[in-house]
Copies of this chain bind each other. A is one copy, B any other.
Amino acid sequence: MFLDIRPKKNDYPIYEQIVSQVIFGIASGLYEPGTLIPSVRELALQLQVHPNTVARAFQELERLEVVESKRGRGMEVTARAPVICSAKRQEKIRERIRDVLREAVASALPADEIEQLVADELRRVNGKPLR
């Protein structure tokens, strides 16, 4: 799995990070309908995270009808998952972009400086994508 968990101070809760990243993974076609996603134990081990935390993320994913538990086999990506996840992905990201920009404007930082910062970071992030 490709998850990048940052158990840092002010980040989003880990379980939410997992939820987001699974959604992103499905949206980007990494997991296709019918795929079994890694088990709670396996993922917990790999992410160095408590199994309960993973379980909670899975619960949430199940609630979103993105995965469903198949008795004895594990969690399976649902048929409708790609559609759901693509929509959710765009929605989430648009929302966060909006929040950040709203905050930037509220801070009374001049508009041109905001655009400068955005351009800087956009370039930066495209250069060396993740870490």
Contacts and interface: CB of A to CB of B under 8 A. Distances in A.
Interface of A: 4, 7, 10, 12, 14, 16, 20-21, 24-25, 27-28, 30, 50, 63, 71-72, 89-90, 92-94, 96-98, 100-109, 111, 113-115, 117-118, 120-122, 124-126, 129-131
A103 B96 contact: yes
- Kindly list the 10 A-B residue pairs having the minimum CB-CB distance in the complex, ordered from nearest: A28-B108, A24-B107, A101-B125, A98-B121, A96-B100, A97-B121, A93-B104, A100-B100, A101-B121, A105-B125
Contacts of A14: 71
Most buried by B among A10, A100, A114: A100
A130 B107 contact: no
Contact of A24 (B94, B100, B106, B117): B106
B106 A130 contact: yes
